[in-house]
Each structure stands twice: as structure tokens, then as C-alpha cells.
Amino acid sequence: SPQCTLPTPTPPDHPPRPAVYAAILAGPCAFSRSTPAPLPGLSTAPKQSKRASRESAAPFVMVLPDPTHRAVARVESLSRQLDPRASDLDADARATLLHRNPTAAAAGVDQGGRPIPGGGAGSLTVVDNRTGKKYEVPVEPGGYVPATAFKAIRAGGDGEGLKLFDPGYMNTAPCKSKISYIDGDKGILRYRGYPIEELAAKSTYLESAFALLYGDLPDAHQLSEWEETIMRHSALPVPVVQALEALPHDAHPMGIILAGLNALSTFHPEQNPALQGGGIYSTHGVQDKQIVRIIGKMTTLAAHAYHRNTGRTPAHPNQKLHYAENFLYMLDAGLDPHHLPNPRLAKALDVMFLLHAEHEMNCSTAAARHLASSGVDVYSAVAGAVGALYGPLHGGANEAVLKMLARIGNKEAIPAFLEGVKNKKEKMFGFGHRVYKNFDPRANVIRDVAEEVFGLVGRDPLIDIAVELEKCARRDPYFVERKLYPNVDFYSGLVYRALGFPPEFFTVLFAIPRATGYLAHWRESLTDPDVKIMRPQQVYQGVWLRHYPSINVRQPASSDSMWQVAPSNASRRRLAGGSSDVEAHSASGGG
């Protein structure tokens, strides 16, 4: 491309994109209640990138003794030595097998071929340079250190042990989970062990949701029953609809979703722990009833949110259609009961739902776990998670990408824009990720979705700018060295825009499928023996002690710390002063 002639070698490309939609676009709808439609083959995982080394200063020294699992040699042809049964074992059993067969540990993988998290079990010898004392800190089989172990390290003062300061939870794991797996360096995302690329090509949103919630993909009978049960619970109670219709016409769609979820919590008192006791969720039947209710009703809530600012009423759910089809039906059918959405676009939306269903311990999922630890009802926990997703730093990045592409305007302006990014004069959205230091595996699939959708509805000029911007960034050493690759938000906004959704609705399309992830973590937390009510600590840095002074001797508060509320229009229109001013005003004939 003439816009991207940079004198640097091209970095290793991400793998060829799977042609996810070739079969769909060439023929009829690929939905099937009995078995998911197989789609074309998938690419291999992205090429590995070396993990960047990190150095940090600390007030104490950690000395690693010779652990049992120290890698002493790289073992060739390791697969012949591995026990295939070990892939289904829990962490403790896997660690036990490693002691029996240290050759696997020597190669850095366990008996099932899985990389050993954090190098495996062992211990740290911590030397506190302030006191000269040594402490043994256990390293668990999962490659983690119990944070409470550092409470034993004391050096006088207030007598309290060390705290771990981790703003943003950059290196804190608040739970153990079996739901999804991410390897940010290699660009890997798996739901219950299934690669996201395979699920996008072969599965459906509801089928993958079943796996996320219950651990395995369903058989044909289970899938059919699961889909039909979800659709049976898609209708909203009439009072909830009335509550949504009472909201302002210009309310943000996410605010309407939040209101609907909170309203739903009041309609099912039989499942509320605050009313029925903390053990109400101990039975699978009660858990599953709330799961199908929430998943079934999310699209209906979204349809009401979509039409709130139009003054229209969405069509009633059509339980004969599939999940994404029914959502588009509720948006567009109006009074026509025979309306059918384009099956190819419905399938595209279904894959978008699948890709956004779960992403381990992100901000909103952590919020769901945090709330669930208090024993609150699941509707409130999901509503709180959706509230976190509402934040523009979490769920609104794809809208920012569209604005950025529109501001660039054309492909010829890309080099100047990238120079502005490097000079800190421009912000580039949709590149880089908190976890992925390689290509986001979801972005590969979404780019194909965008191309195929535009092939159906007409090509958006912004997608040409997006493709060229990605190409230029991947050839520029500034972005390559910083491992800034497109993420899931880079192309998702283009897909949603092509499907006719306004930018303020994009986060709703994120919330609909992510409810499955919230519910999976909620369900998992109910049987987690390590779960305690989440109560993080803080590092206090405020005033140590002062006594209450009389109001007559206080100094005025500084303007930057006192409350500042602009006068309302009513205050400006109100007469100043008391009743005497009103009487004088009336006597003078004013009024």
C-alpha cells in the first residue's frame, strides 16, 4: 500500500482468518435445533511471542530454592510420555502426577500437555531486608501465592503484616475458575477448553452458553430442550414492561436494561435469598430457573430499550425462532407476525453473541463475583455487572473506534494519524488489550464477519479505513514493539453499524451475551469452597487524628475539595431574599 511504505520488516502475521460465513452466505440459514451447522475449517492458533521480561524493585528479596519441578532439560517427543487421562484431573491430582513423572515438569507442561501455571508448586523464601528474617511462602499447584501468607511478615510499626498493593487488580486472582482460559501472549481464548475459533465456526451462542454454564457441550436432545426452555422464558411480566415504558424517551438503552433487571428481581421473591434464606440457591433447580429466565429475557429487555426512544412497542417474542433471529424479529416485525429476519444476518449476530459471551475475570465479571459473594439475588448481581459494563472504559470502546475512523476520514490520512498517535497528539482506539499481548483471537473472526455482512448490506467506507489502519499499524515498529494489535472492539462496531444499530446501543449488544458469562461465574461461585464475602483492604493515607472544632473557629474548606453544584434554573428564577422582598415586589406592581 502506498500509505504504508515503512522501511521495516513485516512482523509475523496472525493466522489466516477462518472463512466463518462461507457456508452461510452461500445457502439457507444454518441454524439447527438438533445439531449446529458445521462451517469451514479453522486456522491454527496465532504464533507465539516471547514473554517480555520485567524487573521491579522490592523491600525484600525472594530466593527460589531448588523446587521439585525445576526444569532441567527440554524433553523431546514429550507427547509419548504423557498420560492422556490427566487432562481431566484437578490441580492437586495433576501436581501429584508431576511428582511421579518429573519429565513432564522438566518440559514445562503437566501430564495432560498443559503448560504448568507459574512454573508449578513449590515455595518462596522471602528475606525481609528490614529485619533480616526469612519466611517460607507456599506456591500452590496453580502457580499462585496465597496473599494472606504475607500477613506473617511484620517489622514493628503498627504490628500489621504486609498488604499487597494492586490497584486495578493487575496481578490478583480473586477466584479459581474452570470456565474460560486466556493466554494473552499466544492470543488464545477457550471456553471450557474449546478454542473460540472452533466454536465460532461450528457452534451457536446458546450451545456455547450451555457449555459455559454446565461444563460440556450438550448432546442433540439437551441442546433442543435447552433452546426451547430459553425461548419459553423470553416474555417479560406486564408490570416490568409498564415500568420500562415510564422511563424517559431519551434514556440510555443501558439504563433501561439495568432498570429491567432490577425490576425482575422483585417479581421472583421465591428465589430471593434476602426473603427465603441464604440456602435458596443450593438446589440446581432454583439456579437453573433463574439462568433461563435471565438469558431468555435479555433480548426482550434489549428490544424494549431499542424502541424506547422511537415510541414504538417491540413485537412479542417469537418462540419458534432462534435466539438472535427472535431478537431481530422483536426489533423489526411490528404488527406483522409473518416477518422473518434475514437468516444470514441473524447468524452473523449469533456469532457476535458467542464471541462476547465470556472473557474470564474482566471488570464486570469481577463485579458479578463481588456482588454474589454477599449472597445477593442473582438478578441484582447481574444488574451490577451490567452497570460496570455500562462504563465507557469497559463496554464503550467500539463506539470510540467508529468515531476515530470517521475522524481519520480516508486512507490517505492514516500515516499522519499514526504519527499523531506516536507523538501523543492522537488517541488510537481498538488496539491493544489489558490481557492480550498478541492478536485478539476474537478480532480475527469479527473481521471476517464484518466483510461478509458488508457483502450483504453494502460496503461501509469505514471498513476500508479500518483494514488499511490495521495494515499500517502492523508494519510500524512503534506498534509492533508495543504489541498493539487489533482487539475485539476494532471491528465489532463496524458490524453493529452495518446491522443498523445506533452507537449508543452497542454496549447493549455486549451485555446480552455477556449475561451468560456472569451467570456461569455466579453458578460456579455457589459451590466454590474458597468463596468468602469480598472485602478488599486499603492503604490509608489520610489525616491520622484531629478533634472536632467549633464552627466559629474553622478555616474555610479549599475550593478544590468542597462541594460544587451549579445553581438550577429554578434557583435563578426564584426571587432573592425572604418574604419582605416578595411583598415589596407585589406592592410595586411586579408579577
Residue 514: alpha-carbon gap to chain centroid: 7
Q: Which of 14, 356, 433, 521 is catalytic?
A: 433
Active site residue 339: no
Q: Which of 288, 394, 464, 528 is catalytic?
A: 394
- Distance (Å, whole) CA 229 – CA 290: 12
Active site residue 440: no
Query: Starting at the edge strand that comes first in sequence, how are the strands of the sheet with 60-63 ordered?
Result: 60-63, 122-128, 134-139
CB-neighbour burial class of residue 251 (10 A; exposed 0-12, middle 13-18, buried 19+): middle
The sign of the dihedral angle between the CA atoms of 220, 225, 230, 234 is positive
Residue 188 in grid coordinates = 488464545
Q: 411: which DSSP letter?
A: G
* Pairing verdict, β 188-191 and 180-183: antiparallel
Grid-cell match 445477593, residue found: 376
- Distance (Å, whole) CA 521 – CA 220: 25
Supply angle C-alpha 460, 464, 469, rounded to 5.
Answer: 135
Q: Which of 352, 302, 310, 309 is nearest to 328 (CA)?
A: 302
**276-313: buried (b, 16+ CB within 10 Å) or exposed (e) per residue?**
eeeebbeeeebbebbbbbbbbbbbbbbbbbbbbbeeee
DSSP string of 551-565, one letter each residue: GGGPPPPPTTTS---
Active site residue 581: no
H-state helical runs in 433-559: 441-457, 461-475, 477-481, 488-498, 506-526
**Which residues lie below 8 Å from residue 81, measured CB to CB, with a gap of 6+?**
75, 101, 103, 104
Count Cβ atoms below 10 Å from residue 510 Cβ, excluding itself: 26
Enzyme catalytic residues: 394, 433, 489
